[in-house]
Structure 1
Amino acid sequence: MPIDDPTTATPSEIDEELARLGIEHAKATDTVNGLTARVRRLVNDGMDEYATELQPRIEQARQTIAECEAAARPLDAEFERRGGWTRAWLVLNTGGHVHRTMQCRTCFPSTRFAWLTQLSGHDETEIVEQAGKAACTECYPSAPVEVRNRPSRIKTPEQLAREAEKAERAKAKAAKAITAPDGTPLRTNQYGQIDTEFTARRSYIDALSYARLLTKRNVAFHRDTIAEYHKDAQLILAALAAKHGRTEDDLRAELAPKVEAKWNREHRNWS
């Protein structure tokens, strides 16, 4: 995200923004080059009208390039003002090494890198510790042999972002989930296994409303079924109370109007 004051930003924050700007700059440059070549072909084929239609897109891409360069200048200046800081790049191929610079003599112009911005400004000892056997011996010649024999713990920013997204999804799923108070699946007689709080609340309301209907019809005939619905409702109530750290009486009072509403809406007039 844009940085208003580079002097207060961390090396990782600055480099993360520089990496983002670099990607946007590269995309816009590819757009300009591709469309410019297309314009030349159209002009050569005498299709000037179509070539003219591409000019706004070219200008927009050039504007993006200019904006990226303008945004990067104060960040690069801050890097220079601080006398620089450590940086690390991971070669994007199987068994790729971690380098302190993309100009390492073991790399080539065609080598693809991932900028490990999360390690920017970190001590090289820490970088080597995380890189393990992936640490480039040219870039980190003093890395201890025992460290270079360890598995790498390096992850690209993209991998870290995916893990963060996965954790957020798991957190959201957990927020919707429900279990029995002891952490085991919440199993009921009439509704089977209940996995979400939404289903639990809906089933609780349905259980009490339907048990009331069966009581109205013939309490003696439906005694066992009524008992099962009441038991299910109690299991669900206990699970909800445990999840939210509330008393069962509190939740029972909260859900009572909804039970009554379902009774009036669906079951009151049943015979």
Structure 2
Amino acid sequence: MRIELDGVTAVLVTGYRDGTTQVNQDAVSALAAHVSNGGVPVLTALGNTAEVHQLQGPERSAVLQAVASAGHSGTLLAGVAGPMAGMLEEIELAHALGYHAAMVHEPADPFGDGTGLVRFYTELAHMSALPLVLYLRTTRLSVAQLRDLADHQRVAGIKYARPDLHTLGSLLREGSGSRCTWINGLAEWNSPAFAAIGVTSFTSGIANARPEIAMAVHRGLSTGDLTAVHRLIEEYVGPVEALRAEGSGRYNVSVIKALLRWEGLELGGVRAPHCELDEAALARLATVSAHPSAIASATT
């Protein structure tokens, strides 16, 4: 089983109308088309940047349908979260809509160690209509458990957002998971560190608004032009991501939606516990030049 997951994976935001009252399927579809036309090869519906944990079942279905309707020619990932039974239902819908794999959010249940997680992922993989991409954020899985999951025939990729990059480096050196694709789940900001151990594919929120920047970062990683990558990070990616990460990520989504407004795409507000940008945060974001010299040179 091989799903094309190399390169940039854009994690799409969810568009609303009337503030955050309803999912705006037209806006979601327009966003997916915008990112696809920007050359991004992999689109994820219902990632964390989509506020997936604040969406009800029918709203998640609406997002899946809207992204699928955009006609993306690359890979489509459907994010799934919550109880396993609900995940399987949403995976069935995603399969029918033409998605290529399901991106599995790490269970939020506070109980359960690595053994429980392995059982959860293994059972889900066995029953899923689609291959899985595991989104890993905590260190509950041991090295041996990571190795076994990476070698599972129904695991197409692992989105690695754990803080222990040395563990991933050890697994890569021993050739673990040769059938799956390892993806940097910590975005452009951390891409040089991941590239140093051989992982140049990464997820991106910035790609919602500025796909050319995400693609330029990946091009620099792939060609070894780290000077260009570091300039992009210093002049654009770094300031944007620092603001997104502030206060345990309270502005994670609102920053992207503000950037989208500046690109002429209105995706509405954000639902609690996410926060809208206050005046000071918006002013800080505005100081990030729309076309700094690094971007002008790196994206041409």
Hey, which of these two has a bigger chunk of helix by percent?
Answer: 1
Higher relative contact order (CA 8 A, sep 6+): 2
TM-score (normalizing by structure 1): 0.27
- TM-score (structure 2 length as normaliser): 0.25
Bigger Rg, which one:
1
